[in-house]
Amino acid sequence: MSAKSKTATWRKWNNVLHRDLGYLCAGLTVVYVVSGIAVNHVADWNPNYAIERRSVTISPVAGDPLTPNVAVGILEAAGVEGELRGSFRPNPDTLRIFIEGGTVNVPLAGGTAEVEMVRERAVLHAANFLHLNHPKKLWTWVADIYALALGVLAVTGLFVLKGKKGITGRGAWLSALGVVVPFVFLWLYL
C-alpha cells in the first residue's frame, strides 16, 4: 500500500469518525448550549423558575391572622388561587401566607399585599438539571463520555480538511486563536 493510499484511508476514517460522532453529540450539544447560556446569565434572571410578582389591595385583617380560615379569607379577597400551605408573622404588622407555588405578604392594617408566584420553566429546568449534573449516578458517566466525544470531535475536526484551508493553513491560525482566547480571559480576570 502506497503512502498516499495510507493517508487517504486514514483521512477517510478520520472523517467518518468525525461525522458519526457529530451526529451522536448533536442532541446533547443543543441541550448543553441552551442550558449553558441560561445558567451563564443567572445574575439577570432565574433560568429554572419564572417568578411573577403583583400587588393587590386588601382591607384590614380582622381576627387572628394565624388561623387557617382567616388566611384563606385573605387569599379569596385578594383573588389569589393556590392551596394554603401555612403562614407566619415575620413582624407584628405583616402576615406571610405560603400557598402552593408562591407566597403572599399581607399588611395586617390593610393596603397593598405583595403576591409572588413561582412556576417551573419546564424545558430549561430539565436541561439545567442535566447540565449541572444533579442526577449524579449514571448521568455522570454519560456526561463524561460526551465530554470525551467532544474532545475527539475537536481533534478529528483538525484533520477533516487538508491544504491551505486545513490544519497546515488557515486551520492552524484558527486553532491557535481558540487556545489563546481562554488564556487572555484568565489573564484579564485573575
The whole-number pLDDT of residue 62 equals 85
Question: Coil, helix or strand for 144?
Answer: helix
Write down the mean pLDDT value for the chain.
93
Distance CA 66, CA 71 (A): 7
Question: What's the pTM value of the predicted model, to 2 decimals?
Answer: 0.75
The whole-number pLDDT of residue 1 equals 63
**Above 90 in pLDDT, residue 4?**
no
Mean pLDDT of 134-160: 96
**Above 80 in pLDDT, residue 57?**
yes
Name the residue ranges covered by the structural domains of the chain.
1-43+123-159, 49-120, 161-190
Query: Cα angle vertex 175, ends 172, 181, to 5°?
Result: 135
The whole-number pLDDT of residue 89 equals 94
Q: Concatenate the DSSP letters of all residues of 164-189 into one string.
A: GGSTTTHHHHHHHHHHHHHHHHHHHH
The whole-number pLDDT of residue 6 equals 74
Cβ 171 vs Cβ 155: under 8 Å: no
Q: Which has the higher per-residue pLDDT, 6 or 126? A: 126
> Across the strands, what pairs with 94?
91, 107
Q: What percent of the chain has pLDDT above 90?
A: 85
Mean pLDDT of 77-103: 93
Distance CA 62, CA 35 (A): 47
Mean pLDDT of 28-57: 95
Question: Coil, helix or strand for 40?
Answer: helix
Using CB atoms within 10 Å of the CB of residue 68, give its burial: 0 to 12 exposed, 13 to 18 middle, 19+ buried: exposed
Cβ 106 vs Cβ 74: under 8 Å: yes
* 28 residue type, one letter: L
Q: How confident is the model at residue 8 (pLDDT cuts 50, 70, 90)?
A: confident
**pLDDT by residue (tens digit) across 150-187?**
999 999 999 999 889 999 999 999 999 999 999 999 99
**Above 80 in pLDDT, residue 96?**
yes
The whole-number pLDDT of residue 64 equals 85
Distance CA 173, CA 189 (A): 24
Question: Coil, helix or strand for 121?
Answer: coil
Q: How confident is the model at residue 67 (pLDDT cuts 50, 70, 90)?
A: confident
Grid cell listed for 68: 387557617
